[in-house]
Amino acid sequence: MRFHRSSGILLHITSLPSRFGVGDFGPGAVEFVNFLERAGQHLWQVLPLGPPALGNSPYSCYSAFAGNPALISPEQLAADGWVTGDEVQPPDEGDSSTSLVNYETVAAQKVKLLESAYSQSKSDLESDERFDEFCQENAFWLHEFARFEACMRHFDNANWTQWPRGLVHREQQELAKIDDELADQIRFSKFSQFIFDQQWRRIKGYANDRGIRIFGDMPIFVAHESADVWVNQSLFELDDSGQPAVVAGVPPDYFSKTGQRWGNPLYRWKVSEATGHAWWTQRFRFELRQFDLLRVDHFRGFESYWEIPADAETAVAGKWRKGPMEAPFKAAEAELGELPIIAEDLGAITDKVHQLRDSLGFPAMRVLQFGFETKDDVFHRPGHYPEHSVAYTGTHDNDTLMGWYSKRLEDQPDNHLLDEYITGTTDIHLQLIKLVFDSASDLAIVPMQDVLGLGSEARMNIPGEADGNWAWRIESADLKDDLAMYLATITKESNRCEVACCN
C-alpha cells in the first residue's frame, strides 16, 4: 500500500505530560494533538499500548489485545463520572510532569482508582449497553484475558506454569471453578479494559477529526507470561511443563555486539498454518481497528527468525529458522482487505526479506543515523531513500539524534560524511530533520526527543539492557509555538502538508 506524502512525530503515550507520574489519555494527549495540528503534522506514531510484563517494555506484554491501564486518565475518569473529583489526586511524590516514569507507583495508583470506579459502578454496569457491547465485540479475547489477569493477581504470579496443575493444562473443571471463585476480579478486568477502550477511542477520534492519523506498532512476539501463550499453548514452542523450549531474539547487529535475547517464546508455524493463521488474522483485525496504520515490528522474522536455546544467556548461540513468509498476511488480507502496514526491516536484512516485503507491497524503513558510517553505504542516506518508504531520524531503539551526533564527533572525528549537509554548529538537529523531510520517502517520522534537540539523557530504550528504559517524558512547556511553526514551515517546503488523512 502507498501512503500520501506526509510527516509526523513519534511519541509514546507514557511520555506525555501529566500530573499523575505517567503520560495518559487525558489533557496531555489533547495538548499534544493540538501541537501536532499547529505543526502541520498528520501522523502520530506511538509504541504498543498493551500491558507490559517484566521490564515495563511495551514490546513484551501479557496480552496482544488488552490495553495498559496505566494509560487511563484519572481526570477523564472523573469527567465521565466514574469517580469523584476528590478521588483524583497525583501520586504521593506530588506533581512531577518532568520526572521519569515510576511504573510501580503509577500502576498501583491507577489500579486503586479503577477499583474505586468499579465498586461505585457495579449496579449500573448490569444495564450499561456500552459495557455489554464492548464485551460482545471483544469476546474473542476479553474473557480469557480477564481470567488470566485475575489468576495472575490471585496467585501473585504471572508465570502461569507455576499455577495449580489443572489451570496450567486448562482443564475445563478448573477453569469453571476459577470463573466462579474469581468472578468479581474477572469482571473488574473487563471493566478496566472497557474504560481503556473508551478513552483511547476518544483521543484517537480527536486526532482523526484534526487530520491526524494514529500510527501504531505491533510486536511480532508476545511474552511467555501472557494470556495469549496460556490460552494458545499449541501455537508456541513449549516443553511439556509449558516453559519455552526456544526463545526469540536477534544476532549481533547495529544495536548489540552479542545480539539481543528477548526471551519470548517462538511460534509453531505449522500449527498456525493448520488453523489458516486465524490468531494472526484476529490480531491484525484488532490492531487495524485500534490504529489507522501499523508498523509490524521485526518483520524479518516472517522470512526467517533467530532461534535461541532457552537456557542460553545471550543470543550468540542462536540459529536462523525459516519463517511463514507471506502466509499470515495473505490470510488476513483475504478477510480484511488491503493492509495499511509498514515493515520494520532493520537489522540483519537479506535480499529474501526485501523480496518478501516487496511482494506484500509494504513500505520499508530508512534511518538517517545508519546512513553515515561508510562512504559507499548509502542505503540509509536521505538522498537515496525510495518513495515507497518511511524515513526516520532515529527510532525508539536509537540514541537521540543529538546524542548520536555528539558520540560520532568523539568516536569518529575523521568521518566527514555529514559535513556537506550541515552548516555551522547550531541547530544541528533541525538541519538533520529537514534532510529527512526533504527526502523522497512517502512518510517522514521524527521522535519528539529529536524535535527538541535533546541528548542521550532523553533516550527511550537501549536494546539489550533490561532496566532503565521506557521512562522518558516531556513537559507541557516543550510544546512551543515557535517549534510548531518551524515544523509547519519545513512540512510545507517539503510538500508534506496537502494530504487526505483520515476516512
Instruction: Give catalytic residue positions.
Output: 297, 344, 397
Q: Which residue has the cell 495538548?
A: 31
6-10 and 443-447 strand pairing: parallel
Q: How far from each other are the two terminal CA atoms of the chain, in whole angstroms? A: 16
Are 296 and 353 a contacting pair, CB within 8 Å? Answer: no
CA distance 166 to 212: 48
E strand or H helix that includes residue 167: helix 165-168
Are 345 and 379 a contacting pair, CB within 8 Å? Answer: no
How many residues are recorded in the chain?
503
CA distance 429 to 454: 9
Phi, psi of 125 (to 5 degrees): -65, -30
- Counting other chains too, the contacts that 430-433 makes at CB distance below 8 Å and 24 or more residues apart are 430/486, 432/368, 432/393, 432/401, 432/405, 433/393, 433/401, 433/490
Query: How far apart, in Å, are the Cα atoms of 430 and each of 9, 74, 406, 422, 436?
Result: 14, 36, 15, 10, 10
Query: How far apart, in Å, are the Cα atoms of 240 and each of 161, 172, 232, 243, 309?
Result: 10, 19, 14, 7, 16
Nearest alpha carbon to residue 490 among 429, 444, 432, 434? 434
CA distance 273 to 250: 24
CA distance 117 to 481: 37
Are 213 and 205 a contacting pair, CB within 8 Å? Answer: no
Nearest alpha carbon to residue 299 among 381, 355, 238? 355
Strand partners of residue 389: 364
CA distance 338 to 225: 32
Task: Give me 222's grid cell.
Answer: 508476545
CA distance 87 to 158: 29
Q: Which residue has the cell 506484554?
A: 61
- Edge-to-edge, what's the strand order for the sheet holding 304-309? 260-265, 246-250, 304-309, 319-322
Nearest alpha carbon to residue 295 among 372, 434, 370, 397? 397
